[in-house]
Amino acid sequence: MRAGKSTVCFMAVFFSLSAGAQTKPIDACPAASAPFPAAQAAEINAGLDAYISKGLQDWNLPGLSIAVVKNGVPVYVKGFGVRSLGESGRVDERTLFGMMSTTKAMTALALAMLVDEGKLAWNDPVTKHLPWFALSDAFVTRNLTVRDLLLHNSGLGNTDGLWARGDLDSRQIIERLQKVPLSYSLRDGFIYQNVMYQVAGEVVQSASGMAWDTFVKTRIMDPIGMTRSQPTLAAMAARRDGNTSAAHFDIDGKVRVIRESPVDAVPAAGAAWSTAEDSAKWLQFLLSGGCAGGKRLVSGANFRELLRPQTFVSAEEFYPTAQLTKPHWMTYGLGWFQQDHHGKFVAMHTGSMDGRTAIVGLMPDEALGVYIFGNLDHAEFRHALMWRVLDAYSGAPARDWSTEFLALYGGLKADADKKQAEREAKRVAGTTPSHKAGNYAGTYLNPVYGDLKISAADGVLRLQFGPMPENAGTLEHWNYDTYRVKLGDGRYGWNLISFGMAPDGSIRTVRMDDSPDFEFTRQPEGGKGGG
């Protein structure tokens, strides 16, 4: 995203004004607000009960939990539906759900606390704290700051395939970034980047002497009183808590329980777990400007830095819901997407992982916040419910967001189905592969993503990318030297796998969905592939 001259001028004014508002430190915790009228809350909540019950049916959502805080007090904390399809356990306010990318706000907060302590500065080069860190461009490596790690502006494109392998640890994932060509110049664009947040987690450890998960648990969750929350899937699973939601995915028209994703490899990007009850305490902390139990965990100045708009976000990189909410501006802070709504500032962030959803929304001018968890992959009722809550508790006109978002996302799915149909139409019937099945077998290597293995048995080809069953599948012939595959349980639909030839006609490469980023080169027999 390149900014024109007028945009640059506007940004300079906008951000200088925002920064100017932060010059006077305010370290006293705010006084308690007047309580929201109980009768009015009861009326709103009765409407929410009905709205959510209908939404679960309309969106085929097994379960959901929600927390709403208004004027410093939880006014609506509740669970709906079931924890796992086929089982009787009901969702309640203490049911554990994945926070996913809403965890990013905690990573940003951890850095802000360390800035307060003088252990780092927002504009420190990353290499000051991680001398081993490197990207493919030496200039970017030298100039990338701690602040940049949180703004999705490093120049890196999406590298989620690194942790999706399931067999690389945090250090290995980050070290492979130096092999990834940059997609744009430093601070000249915005592409959502999970791995950069894990780099931020490594900075937390370097500056504090504590692993990211230990810091978040002992310095954030525990002081706030988030007693059931955990920073990672492993920590949550170790508790063997029966009141935990399962992940669900709609596969071929049927909602099924699926395995958890390996997000613990990049925990600072989205590994934390919480409940509606605990997230209400987190909302209280956020809406108080960084106070818990009458004590500050972070200075007023650095808390405001988290929510200060710091870079514009294009419509292509923002939520599709902006097509309906129609904001006048869209920005990103430190771990927060931002927009206007009925003249009010809204900070928000979603969390998405295979089988799970979350969303958090803050309207600070109204002392209002909402947190929603769901247990079905990309069930976008979360957006509808968030806007419904923000409207109801801020006095905005009522609007049936659920119906509108059903139409919006239904249209997006129709577009995807159309593209799939167009791909199907390009298939050439009656063709055959240029080689026998066994000739395609081998280990193929990508310098970033490691090895991809093709095996052959009884004339049938099978693909394996890393150790996880979700990244394995049987190939079906498509046309010529292209095959198709449904990986794992089929949740991602069909992927095309194309084999490329060397000048002598031998098989040289394999590429997924015609993406040059996912092209793997065949290794000599007996050669060593990389994990």
The string of DSSP letters for 139-166 reads HHHHH-BHHHHTTT-SS----THHHHTS
- Residue 509 tokens read as 């490469």
Domain ranges of the chain: 5-108+227-414, 437-522
Q: Is pLDDT above 70 for 444?
A: yes
| Strand 247-251, strand 337-341: pairing | unpaired
Task: Return all residues near 146 (Cβ < 8 A) that are at least 6 apart.
Answer: 111, 120, 121, 122, 123, 124, 126, 129, 200, 203
What confidence score (pLDDT) does residue 525 get?
80
For 319-326, what is the mean pLDDT? Answer: 97
Q: Cα 78 to the chain's mean position, in Å?
A: 24
Helices 401-425/381-394 angle, 10° precision: 160
pTM here is 0.93
Q: Is pLDDT above 70 for 21?
A: no
Percent of the chain with pLDDT over 90: 88
What confidence score (pLDDT) does residue 526 get?
59
What confidence score (pLDDT) does residue 12 get?
38
- CATH number (2.60.120.260, 3.40.710.10, 3.40.50.300, 3.50.50.60) of 5-108+227-414 reads 3.40.710.10
What's the CA gap between 451 and 439, in Å, rounded? 18
What's the CA gap between 250 and 258, in Å, rounded? 10
Identify the CA nearest to 431 among candidates 474, 497, 478.
478
Task: Return all residues near 236 (Cβ < 8 A) that are at least 6 apart.
Answer: 96, 230, 244, 273
Identify the CA nearest to 495 among candidates 457, 523, 521, 463.
463
Choose the weakest-confidence range: 23-37, 303-317, 407-421.
Answer: 23-37
Whether 271 contacts 89, CB under 8 Å: no
With cut-offs at 50, 70 and 90, classify the pLDDT of residue 27: confident
Whole-Å CA distances, 209 to 94, 150, 205, 271, 398: 32, 20, 5, 20, 49
What's the CA gap between 317 and 339, in Å, rounded? 13
With cut-offs at 50, 70 and 90, classify the pLDDT of residue 412: confident
Strand partners, 69: 74, 369
Whether 454 contacts 444, CB under 8 Å: yes
Q: Is pLDDT above 70 for 17?
A: no
What confidence score (pLDDT) does residue 9 get?
37
For 296-319, what is the mean pLDDT? Answer: 97
CATH number 2.40.128.600 given to 437-522: yes
Identify the CA nearest to 492 among candidates 467, 478, 511, 472.
472
Q: Give tens-digit pLDDT for 159-218.
A: 999 998 999 999 999 999 999 999 999 999 999 999 999 999 999 999 999 999 999 999
What confidence score (pLDDT) does residue 87 get?
95
What's the CA gap between 487 and 513, in Å, rounded? 13
* Collapsed DSSP state (helix, strand, coil) of residue 55: helix
Q: Give tens-digit pLDDT for 424-442.
A: 899 999 999 999 999 999 9
What's the CA gap between 289 and 459, in Å, rounded? 63
* Amino acid symbol at 522: R
Whole-Å CA distances, 422 to 415, 428, 478: 11, 12, 14
What confidence score (pLDDT) does residue 413 get?
85
What confidence score (pLDDT) does residue 420 get?
87
